[in-house]
């Protein structure tokens, strides 16, 4: 009886280490569409050591909102917020602001 239990435990332990391909990692958003430049001027790119990590929304001149998992465990000195473009509402002209950091 103990032998059967050990064999079942071993088989179960081995199979738990495999990830089903059905649930594998996929970085794309299901059913999403590409946005045109300037379509969402309130969006920011949260960068970790210069590489895009997460997105966020501009709340005001000094604050942006992002998901907690985007900053949890990261060094604050390694994070930067980049606003890629914005709309100039007063003059009606588009203003491109590459790599503006706060």
User: Where exactly are the structural domains of the chain?
Assistant: 39-102
Q: What is the mean pLDDT of residues 89-97?
A: 45
Tell me which of 3.40.50.2300, 2.40.10.10, 3.40.640.10, 1.10.10.10 is the CATH number of domain 39-102: 2.40.10.10
pLDDT digit string, tens, across residues 51-75: 888 888 888 877 888 898 888 888 8
Q: What's the pLDDT at 88?
A: 47
Residue 83 banded pLDDT, cuts 50, 70, 90: confident
| Long-range contacts of 42-48, Cβ-Cβ distance < 8 Å, separation of 24 or more | 43/84, 44/81, 44/82, 44/83, 44/84, 45/81, 45/82, 45/83, 45/84, 46/70, 46/71, 46/79, 46/80, 46/81, 46/82, 47/79, 47/80, 47/81, 47/82, 48/74, 48/78, 48/79
Q: What's the pLDDT at 20?
A: 53
pTM: 0.47
């Amino acid at each position: 009886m103990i032998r059967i239990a050990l064999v079942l435990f071993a088989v179960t332990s081995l199979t738990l280490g495999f990830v089903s391909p059905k649930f594998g990692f996929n970085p794309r958003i299901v059913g999403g569409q590409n946005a045109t430049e300037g379509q969402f001027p309130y969006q920011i790119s949260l960068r970790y050591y210069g590489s895009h990590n997460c997105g966020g929304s501009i709340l005001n001149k000094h604050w942006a909102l992002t998901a907690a998992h985007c900053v949890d465990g990261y060094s604050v000195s390694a994070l930067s917020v980049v606003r890629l473009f914005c709309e100039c509402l007063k003059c009606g002209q588009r203003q491109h602001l590459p790599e503006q950091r706060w």
